[in-house]
Structure 1
Amino acid sequence: MEFQTATCKPTILTGDRATGPLHLGHYVGSLAQRVDLQQKYEQTILVADMQGLTDNAHNSKKVSSNILNVVADYLAVGIDPEKTTICLQSQLPALAELTMYYANLVTISRLERNPTVKAEIQSKGFERSLPAGFLTYPISQAADITGFNASLVPVGDDQLPMLEQTNEIVRKINSLAGRSVLNECSPLLSKAPRLPSTDGKSKMSKSLGNAINLGASEKEISKAVKSMYTDENHLKVEDPGKVEGNIVFTYLDAFHPDHEYVQSLKAHYQRGGLGDGTTKKILEECLQEMLRPIRLKRMEYLDDKAQLIDLLKRGSEVSREKTNRVLREVKGVFGLNIF
């Protein structure tokens, strides 16, 4: 496979932590968008294995064993390595060095005020056992973004504080230099609504088992759909039901190709006469049809791990050159380019 050469297209950086296979939430929130973006932008996708260790260092196999799973997911949904560079964070030492320089420009109190970090700390129950690497996650993310001189970063609105902190670091570096060394980045917000977990109780998570993975088997898809929360007051088929907060209809809105048909189902459900079993069956058929080709492609890619490793290696080599150039500029700001 050939990799893209430098162009004058705007640069996009996006990526995922390698802590498990990707799921439908990733597909709606970012993967489908990335497939479209690669046609118009110079896009790099970073497999963030080092950031995966910030809360998994005690179980590093969870990260290392999922690197190729994530790459296979990318390819299976249509991300093309001839148009998008896919690279591995741990193979780009410039990013770790940039993180160190930036860490000297950010206070602990500023990191603790970051609402995204605060929410994650609370959800993981870290309290005072918080790993330092997790607290400094925004600094590492700033190194990733600036390391590629990315001007656009696709994010959900919950990630906006991370980009704000990145731009604060950019302004500090530029101020120290007395010139523009780094570019500020702008968010590229996804128009897709956030997909709820299948249990409807918490955010979709690889570790909580409340998501449908892109490589899910037919049995796993069926089990997940059958367990979905609907309307607890919809006790009989003839009873009127609620579609707001009904996970089945949320997923139908996100994945069923016939929007008008879904609207007619909603109207039928609301006036009564449409059972939960029927709506779940419709959703299951939709997801089975959508995920079958992705699952098969994913299996094919994972059957040839050497090809995935080679793809990742070559993408990392291309990215190493880019990030090393930025690192040299930043080291120059601190007067560290002695030789």
Structure 2
Amino acid sequence: MFANRILSGMRPTGSLHLGHYHGVIKNWVELQTRHDCYFMVADWHALTTNYDEVAIIEKSIWEMVIDWLASGVDPEQATIFIQSKVPQHAELHLALSMVTPLGWLERVPTYKDQMDKLNHKDLATYGFLGYPLLQAADILVYKAGLVPVGEDQVPHIELTREVARRFNNLYGREPNFEELAKAAVKKIGKAGKQFEQLRTRYLQDGDGEALLAARELLAASQNLGNSDRERLQGYLENKGKIILPESEALLTAASKMPGLDGNKMSKSYKNTITMRETPEDVSKKIRAMPTDPARVRRTDAGNPDKCPVWQLHEVYSGDDTKEWVKAGCTSAGIGCLECKQPVIEAVVREQQPMFERAEKYLANPNLVKEIVFEGCHKAELVARETMKEVREAMGLGY
């Protein structure tokens, strides 16, 4: 299992805004320095709900990738690729659909939730029902150990684990599995005896600590190839070869980026600041924000807790500025436009490096396409290896 590998993606359905930056991309920039990161433009996923608005997808792809690069995603550290350009995603999705019970998809919480939220669209489609399985294929085709998600997406990762478990139980038992596993134990060297002891403790006594210790021993071994490592992961738990490892959810903090009206920042609410909004438009939008309804006149005292601008101060302002806002608002010592000015300056300051990084990509669009082309090539090499194992396991290796 590639415990250090991360898979994450975004759908190209329009301009990215500061909610995307604070909720997802900022986290990617940190993760890429510590993990083997694969960041995916999820264009197949865009079609699950936007199948009737395809014109927006291509334009959004390139704008979105530029936003990622402008935010600090580094193609030297992370792999950036387009989902549909790596055909193994669709192939694994099809393979997994052969063994995934329909009820597993119907019980995913976001399925009915999205059906209700998007009731203006006809989502009674196979693609929409199956999108959690496509998401599972996205993860499993790279054998990603970690998937950064918010709490609402945890059920998707659990489905991915269940699908991987079912696949391994159906197809992971090789004809000469025991012999191959014992031969792999010998390759560990002196640690092989310790591995066998830990395995016995786990299988006979249900010792969870022994299981963890044996997994750590496998992860530390330098003498095992990927096939032997996966074989021993299955042997350890008295299963077959682990063809598709079970990923773990890497919980990320929910975005605290509010929209211009105090609700969650969202395109559907029309309350966004895009990631590369001009300083003039940032100023115009924030200056037009609603404030505490009790402040009808400049001399009326207000309550920051009832003002959407205060929520932006919570994101952007330091303690001194927040104290100044509280004191000035509750005493009518400052006006609403004065209160908004530090937020305007902070947003413009945050976006300035994004504009600077974006310049070279806007001036040379081919550079963006080269980055994505190389990323797609690298991603496909990894995905091909997984699909080779999957085909062989399912009797399609001829």
Structure 2 SS opposite 1:244: helix
CA gap 1:112/1:220 in 2 versus in 1, 3 angstroms: farther
Counterpart code for 2:93: T
Q: Cα distance, 1:126 vs. partner?
A: 4.9
Q: Cα distance, 1:336 vs. partner?
A: 1.5
Residue matched to 2:16:
22
Q: Quick check: 2:327–2:333 contact (8 Å CA) kept in 1?
A: no
Q: Cα distance, 1:329 vs. partner?
A: 1.9
CA gap 1:335/1:286 in 2 versus in 1, 3 angstroms: same
Are 2:294 and 1:294 equivalent residues in the alignment?
Answer: no
Q: TM-score, normalization: structure 2?
A: 0.76
Q: Cα distance, 1:300 vs. partner?
A: 3.2
Give the counterpart of 1:140 among 130, 134, 137. 134
Q: Cα distance, 1:299 vs. partner?
A: 3.9
Identify unmatched segments of 5+ residues in structure 2.
173-239
Q: CA RMSD in A?
A: 2.2
Residue matched to 1:233:
294
Q: Cα distance, 1:9 vs. partner?
A: 7.1
Identify unmatched segments of 5+ residues in structure 1.
1-7
Q: Quick check: 2:49–2:123 contact (8 Å CA) kept in 1?
A: no
Residue matched to 1:217:
278
Give the counterpart of 1:283 among 343, 346, 361. 343
CA gap 1:33/1:140 in 2 versus in 1, 3 angstroms: same
Deviation string for 1:109-143 (max 9, x for gaps)?
43232222322222211575433212211111111
CA gap 1:183/1:262 in 2 versus in 1, 3 angstroms: farther
Residue matched to 1:303:
363
Are 2:127 and 1:67 equivalent residues in the alignment?
Answer: no
Matches within 5 A, 1:1-339: 10-126=4-120, 129-176=123-170, 177=172, 178-191=240-253, 193-201=255-263, 203-206=264-267, 208-244=269-305, 246-256=307-317, 258-338=318-398
1 CA distance for matches of 2:287 and 2:102? 46
Counterpart code for 1:212: I
Q: Cα distance, 1:208 vs. partner?
A: 4.6
Q: Cα distance, 1:33 vs. partner?
A: 1.2
Deviation string for 1:71-119 (max 9, x for gaps)?
1111111111110110111111000011112223334443232222322
CA gap 1:128/1:34 in 2 versus in 1, 3 angstroms: closer
Which deviates the most, 190-199 or 66-75? 190-199
Q: Cα distance, 1:237 vs. partner?
A: 4.0
Structure 2 SS opposite 1:231: coil
CA gap 1:128/1:83 in 2 versus in 1, 3 angstroms: closer
Q: Quick check: 2:256–2:315 contact (8 Å CA) kept in 1?
A: no
Q: Quick check: 2:257–2:312 contact (8 Å CA) kept in 1?
A: yes
Which deviates the most, 230-239 or 112-121? 230-239
1 CA distance for matches of 2:23 and 2:72? 15
Report % sequence identity: 33
Deviation string for 1:233-252 (max 9, x for gaps)?
23344544333363322222
Which deviates the most, 143-152 or 209-218? 209-218
2 CA distance for matches of 1:208 and 1:131? 26
